Amino acid sequence: MIAQILQELKPFNARLVAVSKTKPVGDIRKIYDLGQRIFGENRVQELMAKVDLLPEDIEWHLIGHLQRNKVKYIAPFIGMIHSVDSLELAKEINKQAARNDRRIPVLLQIRIAEEETKFGIETNKIDQFVEEMLAKNWHHLEIAGVMGMASFVDDEKQISAEFNRLKEIFDHLKSRYFEEETSFREISMGMSGDYQIALQQGSTMVRIGSLIFGARN
C-alpha cells in the first residue's frame, strides 16, 4: 500500500507523513524498513515511549493538539510540529527550542472545516496571528507553512473547497509575509480518506495512517 501511495505522491512532489499513532513499534519498524523516514504521532506520551525503541534517523512529526507543558519533552528531537494554533504555544516551542539550541519547524494549524472543530486558527484571524508572531522575533521557530483538516463528510466538493481555502491562505501568507523565505513552503493536508483530493488542491505533505497501518481501534 505504501508503495502505491508514494507513486501517487510523486507527480505532485508531495511528501508522506506515515501516521503511526496507536500502532506498536514493530509495525513502524516494518514501514521504516521499506524506506519511510517521516512518522507522525499525535500524543507526546506515546511518542516518547516509541522514540528510544526505533532508529535515530526517523524524523518525528507531532501532528495533533499539543499542550504547552509537554513541549519540553519533544523539543530535543522533534522534526516538525504541525499544530501551532496559539501564540502561547508558539512562545513555549521557541523557548524550549532555544534551550536545546535548535530551530524547530512549525506549521500554523488553520480551521478550514465547515463543521465544528476545536482546534485551529480562525481564517479571519490568521493575518493578525502571523503579524504578532513575526513581531516577537522568535528565532528558534521556523514558520514552515500551514496545516488543516477537512470536514469528515462524503461530499467531495466540500472537501475540495476546504482544501482549496487552505491553499489560498498559504498563497496569501506567502506573498504577504514570506516571499523571501524559502522555508515557508509546506501545505500539510490530506489523510487516508481524502489525500487524493488534497493533492489536487496543492498539498505538499499528506498525513496518512490507517491506509498504511490498517484501521485503528
Ligand X SMILES: *Cc1c(COP(=O)(O)O)cnc(C)c1O
Q: Shortest gap between Cβ of 135 and ligand X (angstroms)? A: 28
Q: Shortest gap between Cβ of 182 and ligand X (angstroms)? A: 25
Contacts within 8 Å (CB) and 24+ apart, 28-32: 28/54, 29/54, 31/2, 31/212, 31/213, 32/58
CB closer to ligand X, 93 vs 212: 212
CA distance 40 to 208: 9
Site for ligand X in 133-192 (CB under 6 A): 191-192
Residue ranges with strand state E in 42-172: 59-62, 80-84, 104-109, 141-147
Q: How many residues bind ligand X (CB under 6 A)?
A: 13
21 binds ligand X (CB under 6 A): yes
64 binds ligand X (CB under 6 A): yes
Q: Shortest gap between Cβ of 54 and ligand X (angstroms)? A: 19
User: Minimal CB distance to ligand X: which residue?
Assistant: 209
Backbone angles phi, psi at 61, to 5 degrees: -115, 135
Strand 15-19 and strand 38-41: pairing? parallel
Q: CA-CA distances (angstroms) from residue 111 to 61, 178, 189?
A: 19, 20, 12
Q: 132 and 171 in contact (C-beta within 8 Å)?
A: no
Q: Which of 36, 42, 94, 96 binds ligand X (CB under 6 A)?
A: 42
CB closer to ligand X, 43 vs 102: 43
63 binds ligand X (CB under 6 A): yes
| Contact set with ligand X (CB under 6 A) | 19, 21, 42, 63-64, 191-193, 207-211
